[in-house]
Amino acid sequence: MEIIFQQFINGIVSGSTYALIGLGLTLIYGVMGLVNFAHGEFAMIGGFTTFYLVAQQQGSYLPAILVAVLAAAIAGIVVDLVAFYPLRKANPLNLMLSSLGVSIFLVNLSQYIFSADPRKTPTKFMESVYHLGGASITGQRVIIIVASIILAAGIYLLVQKTSFGRAVRAASLDAETALLYGVNTDKVAFFTFALGTALAGATGALVGPLFDVYPTMGLPLTMKAFVVVVLGGMGSIPGAIIGGLIIGLAESFASLISSRYTELFVYLILLLVLIFKPHGIFRRYREEKV
């Protein structure tokens, strides 16, 4: 029973990170219709920013997370202006190919700056361990869960309760109609992309102390983010959160059988969803889109 509870906690931690990065991806897709293959690279930017500030500049970890989020958002603004804004009216395939180019560029740039060697962000929160019902959890994992809850709740309230959120929902449902009602869809897309990349940066900063930070770390995170948003429903905020938790728990409990089968189990779930619910769990109605 203790093993089951321990795996449940591990699954919630993993699911929180998947939900967070999936949330950023689903926001971007919901407004821009962009299948962003470079999304994980912004998590890499957040991870390396935190590593640099903590390991090389002896800074504090928690303030470094905020800087990492800001760095990822600024990088997102630059990338959007250079790679995506000029193609906003083009075929979505052109946007997707542009995102592949951005991914390759950011990976090679980070290899040039930091080398290909994996790094781990040092933090005292990895040393503190809490025990609950026979299971143990480090302080860093607690931070991941709490930060993910705060950020997810913040995004939900932003989208549902603010004028910017109403503009986001209008642009995601019908950009042309929103434009007729005075919504600046280009401005909404611009800030939404920055917000989505900021969430990815937060993910990278949070997982840096648990896993290695390296230039190609974005690829597996991007793949998991796609699984999450397809599972939950492309453009659905609740879907990204629930989808992330489902994938995290599935991975964790599948590892009880064998660690070799965790990825297989995740993609089996994805396959079943695509067969029986091809639009995702939370995309029954168009209104559920962002």
CA distances from 84 to 46, 95, 147, 186, 232 (A): 21, 6, 29, 11, 25
Q: What is the CATH number of the domain that holds 59?
A: 1.10.3470
58: domain range?
Answer: 2-288
Residue 52 has pLDDT above 90, yes or no: yes
Q: What is the mean pLDDT of residues 39-51?
A: 97
pLDDT digit string, tens, across residues 215-263: 999 999 999 999 999 998 888 889 999 999 999 999 999 888 877 878 8
User: Is 139 in contact with 126 (CB distance < 8 Å)?
Assistant: yes
Q: How far apart are CA 283 and CA 27, in angstroms?
A: 14
At residue 288 the predicted structure's pLDDT band, cuts being 50, 70 and 90, is very low
Q: What is the mean pLDDT of residues 147-167?
A: 93
User: Is 1 in contact with 127 (CB distance < 8 Å)?
Assistant: no
Q: What are phi and psi of 33, to 5 degrees?
A: 65, 25
Task: Work out how many domains the chain is built from and give that number.
Answer: 1
Q: What are phi and psi of 205, to 5 degrees?
A: -65, -35
Residue 284 has pLDDT above 60, yes or no: no
Q: Report pTM.
A: 0.92
Nearest to 69 by CA among 100, 86, 47, 84: 47
Residue 129 pairs in a beta bridge with 138
